[in-house]
Structure 1
Amino acid sequence: MKLHILLNIHRLSQRELSLKTGIRFETINKYTNNSYKYISNEHLNTLCEFFNCSISDLIEHIKDS
């Protein structure tokens, strides 16, 4: 998840993003720290709309070695 990069680019805190998107702070924190178990489609849509970006700007797949 590249949410931490978008937060830095837009100079937002996790708490500010939570308040502006309605996504719980704890969930934003898990996404930012890559400690989530799954990502809901609703959250992906909300984050893409908020940052005006595509899904590839939010997440990337890295193959296991």
Structure 2
Amino acid sequence: MSSTDKNWWFEIKLQSILDSRRISNREFSRLTGIRHSTINDLCNNEVKSIPLKNLAIICEVLNIVDLNELIKVHK
């Protein structure tokens, strides 16, 4: 891994998606079965990793087929 690779970071766009669909974090937690605190951390980009199971659930509930809709890569 080069030193420039360490400057990459990922932005989770969950909060803006939920806002545009008028879904509260608490309601989204209920819809997905993912803990409310985890949803909040995802919405605030305060996570270092996302379990694939949670990612799949989020995409299914929001009908997201392209991860670029949910995650933006910053170089």
The alpha-carbon deviation at position 10 of structure 1 amounts to 1.0
Detail structure 1 runs of 4+ shifted over 6 Å in the superposition.
Answer: none
Secondary structure at the counterpart of residue 50 of structure 1:
helix
1:44 corresponds to: 55
TM-score by length of 2: 0.80
Distance in 2 between the 1:25 and 1:46 partners? Answer: 14
CA distance in 2, matches of 1:47, 1:9: 15
> What runs of 5+ residues in structure 2 fail to find an aligned partner?
1-11
1:62 aligns with 2:69: no
Find the residue that maps to 1:60 and give its secondary structure. strand
What do the CA deviations read for 1:7-64 (whole angstroms, capped 9, x no partner)? 011101100000110000010000000011211101110011111112111111101x
| 1:14-33 pair list within 5 angstroms | 14-33=25-44
Could you say which structure has the larger radius of gyration? 2
Quick one: distance in 2 between partners of 1:56 and 1:48?
11
Identity in percent: 41
Count the aligned residue pairs.
63
Structure with the greater relative contact order (CA < 8 A, sep ≥ 6): 1 or 2?
2
